[in-house]
Amino acid sequence: MAPQRRGAPKAPEGSGAAERRRPSSTKSVRAPREVQRKWLRTSVLGACAVLAGLLLWSIMGGDDGVTEVLAHRGEILPGRFIEVPCSEDYDSHRRFEGCSPRKCGRGITDTVITRDEAQRIRSIAEKGLSLGGSDGGASILDLHSGALSVGKHFVNLYRYFGDKIQTVFSEEDFRLYRDVRQKVQLTIAQAFGISVSSLYLTKPTFFSRINSTEARTAHDEYWHAHVDKVTYGSFDYTSLLYLSDYLDDFGGGRFVFMEEGANRTVEPRAGRVSFFTSGSENLHRVEKVQWGTRYAVTIAFTCNPDHGIADPVFT
């Protein structure tokens, strides 16, 4: 018979020898696990700290990389114009001699529209938007087409509210709107050296009201960088008339011209007009509004009479 191998002698029950042997083997396995857990915990905490820093940086406006303020809220600018090279965006569209941009740039003025006019224009926006308003942070009112934000959709306020509109707006409201549009149009024509009669109002031209409410639909996401000529096609010259004051009425919400390594911003103030050629030379975005309410009106012009629209009429 083959000799049998003897195993290690068994420890007597209750001797505690087996129990004394197990901890040493368990410790050798547990030790690296504890190290892994500590490393993971540290990594997660570090990542959270980084994310918190990035969030704070974003809230403070750091994500825009603004390196120059073109117009401070406390300044009163008679006029400031910065010429930039034109993009090729206009080449794929029909050109109109004496109007289509050959000279491109951006301008700011605080002396074309008075603060009193801005307050009266803002009251038009407030009256119209009191009829609806977006569920998200951005609402629009277009007196030309009748488009009004209501919940997650748009309605035509002239059809939707009918005769009630005449109890909301007045003939004077529409006259003031037209006068302001004409002043802005003349300012753009003079800055770019073109005939005022060669410019035509184009759509969309609208009031905007922006607050810090979370976006509900894509229409509420106003902060994405874009090029007006690419987005709308008909735009050749874009202008914004601000109707509220940065840091008094709202925080965030600055207008940012985006350039490689050197973004430049305009701080809104009531009555300030910012205008620019609509191509890629003026890629831009609006910072998220962090608190309060920002009012403005976008007024756009085209050189193509086929894309022109008439002033709204009070009926």
Domain CATH number, residue 270? 2.60.120.620
248 to each of 27, 96, 109, 292, 293, how far by Cα in Å?
63, 42, 20, 9, 10
Contact 298, 238 (CB under 8 A): yes
Same domain, 244 and 154: yes
113: left (phi over 0), alpha (psi -120 to 50) or beta: beta
Q: Which residue has the tokens 């403005």?
A: 296
Same domain, 130 and 49: no
pLDDT of the residue at 12: 42
Check 122, 181, 254, 294 and give the catalytic one: 294
Same domain, 33 and 129: no
pLDDT of the residue at 315: 74
Q: Which long-range contacts (CB under 8 A, 24 or more apart) does 182-188 make?
A: 183/112, 183/113, 184/112, 184/113, 184/239, 184/241, 184/273, 184/275, 184/299, 185/299, 185/301, 187/107, 187/109, 187/112, 187/239, 187/273, 187/275, 188/237, 188/239, 188/275, 188/301
pLDDT of the residue at 64: 54
Same domain, 89 and 142: yes
- Show Cβ contacts of residue 84 under 8 Å, excluding neighbours closer than 6 positions: 104, 105, 106, 281, 282
Whether 294 is catalytic is yes
Same domain, 31 and 113: no
Same domain, 53 and 154: no
Same domain, 195 and 50: no
Give the domain extent around 195: 65-307
Residue 315 lies in a domain: no
pLDDT of the residue at 159: 95
pLDDT of the residue at 277: 98
Q: What is the pTM of this model?
A: 0.80
pLDDT of the residue at 166: 93
Residue 313 lies in a domain: no
Q: How many structural domains does the chain have?
A: 2
Q: Per the omega criterion (within 30 degrees of 0), is the bond before 204 cis?
A: yes
Residue 291 lies in a domain: yes
Mean pLDDT per 10-residue section of the chain, whose length is 315 residues: 42 44 47 53 46 40 70 97 96 94 98 98 98 96 97 96 94 97 98 97 98 95 96 97 98 95 94 98 98 98 98 89
pLDDT of the residue at 73: 96
Same domain, 25 and 171: no
pLDDT of the residue at 38: 53
Same domain, 54 and 151: no
Same domain, 72 and 119: yes
Same domain, 46 and 84: no
pLDDT of the residue at 65: 72
